[in-house]
Copies of this chain bind each other. A is one copy, B any other.
Amino acid sequence: MRPAIITLTTDFGLGGPYVAAVKGVLLERAPGVQLVDVCHTISPQNILEGGFVLANIVDVFPEGTVHLAVVDPGVGTERRLLACSVARQWFVLPDNGLITGVTRHHPPDEIRELTSPSIRREFVSATFHGRDILAPAAAHLALGRPAEELGPLRSKFITLRNFEPTADEEGFVGEVIFKDTFGNLITNIHVDRLGDAPGDSWKVEIAGERIAGIVRTYGDCPAGTLVALSGGSGWIEVAVVNGDAGRLLTAGPGTTVRLRREG
């Protein structure tokens, strides 16, 4: 039988005891659960980046996986905490837009607000709800216990507008959403927005540069070439073959990117 899986995505950073404290609560409550670190270096309180990471894992994890995500600038205020069932997986997170990318293709089947006083740690701190409320809820779901025990059904959830580019008659205006370790600039423009137009009918503008066409892979061009391509998860990205596009263009998250269809 497949053991239950809980993944963790946070902006806690890699130093300190915070991630481990969450893991301890999960293992205490759900013995034998398989823990998977997704990413703990989300830029502090960057919900858009956290949402991008989650959007890229929903299609690879098995059914039943519970994803615990904590990027939570509103901790200690009145923001809601949710468990959302999407694509037969659970996402346990604050209701601040973190779920946006996950719901691009899969609307939630069920949303619960985490209000149950019994599915929390006995002492709930004012600043560490990841450990004290979200982790017990994730453990509860990983154990296969009823979602209805977590709290009432909800139908609404917050989504981020800048997770999608703006469409106009010429194409799209979006932004860089993530710079990876190679300096590739991943945008919020997904290839599924581009329709049937061939790659070479697009022009990409970023940081004063124009790139003609969207190529298939890095290997199609000589080293040092600035290229636009559709990356491994379908997001349009700007890269330098065997180089660092972020450094070359002095660009990163937030940089505007335009796609225009050529005549």
Known: A21-B60, A180-B18. A218 touches B41 (CB 8 A): no
Name the residue of chain B whose CB is nearest to the CB of A179. Answer: B15
**A181 and chain B: residue at smallest CB distance:** B13
Quick check: A131 and B31 within 8 Å, CB to CB? Answer: no
Q: How far is the CA of A178 from the CA of B12 in the complex (A)?
A: 13
> How many chain A residues touch the partner (CB < 8 A)?
70
Contact of A218 among B37, B61, B75 (CB under 8 A): B75
> Interface stretch among A22-30, A105-113, A160-168?
A22-30
| Smallest Cβ-Cβ distance to A130: which chain B residue | B232
Interface SS of chain A: helix, strand, loop or mixed?
loop
18 contacts between A and B (CB under 8 A): A11-B182, A14-B41, A15-B180, A17-B53, A17-B56, A20-B37, A20-B38, A20-B53, A20-B60, A27-B36, A28-B60, A35-B36, A75-B218, A76-B218, A125-B232, A126-B216, A126-B232, A132-B232
Across the A-B interface, the 4 shortest Cβ-Cβ residue pairs: A13-B181, A128-B232, A24-B60, A76-B217
Chain A residues within CB distance 8 Å of chain B: 1-3, 5, 7, 9, 11-21, 23-25, 27-28, 31-32, 34-42, 44-45, 52-57, 60-62, 65, 73-77, 125-128, 131-132, 178, 180-182, 216-220, 229, 231-233, 242
